[in-house]
Copies of this chain bind each other. A is one copy, B any other.
């Protein structure tokens, strides 16, 4: 088990049976935030950067969204309310949109191919947590 999974397991407040899905979501958000940050910078380093502006922007939005979603999911502020649900929906949409944009460049840029895959994994993790809440 990862350190993140382990520490979530030690939390004094029981996450009501959604612990495994919380862990999966926090980890997927962390990976996706990092990968989108690298993809944005890699796009900026390409000679064809002018064709990749939309990709940089969706990468930056998705990185920010995943970072904040991972943080909010990590907290026991109260799963019952609407904030986490809306945030997870927004994050899943940001991941879907970024995946679609990156997939358009996946043939030319390996970083876009890897980023699209990370976004799809994170979208799925967010939707699975949403379904479990």
Copies of this chain:
4
With most chain B CB atoms within 10 A of its CB, the pick from A12, A46, A50, A65 is A12
The answer to whether B42 touches A65 (Cβ under 8 A) is no
Query: In the complex, what residues of B have CB within 8 A of residue A47's CB?
Result: 50
| A118 nearest in chain B by CB position | B3
Query: In the complex, what residues of B have CB within 8 A of residue A33's CB?
Result: 30
Given the interface contacts A44-B57, A75-B57, does A94 sit within 8 Å of B90 by beta carbon?
no
B-binding residues in A (CB < 8 A): 2-4, 6-8, 10-13, 26-27, 30-31, 33-35, 37-39, 41-42, 44-47, 49-50, 53-54, 56-58, 60-61, 63-65, 67-68, 70-72, 74-78, 81-83, 86-87, 89-90, 93-94, 97, 109-111, 114-115, 117-118
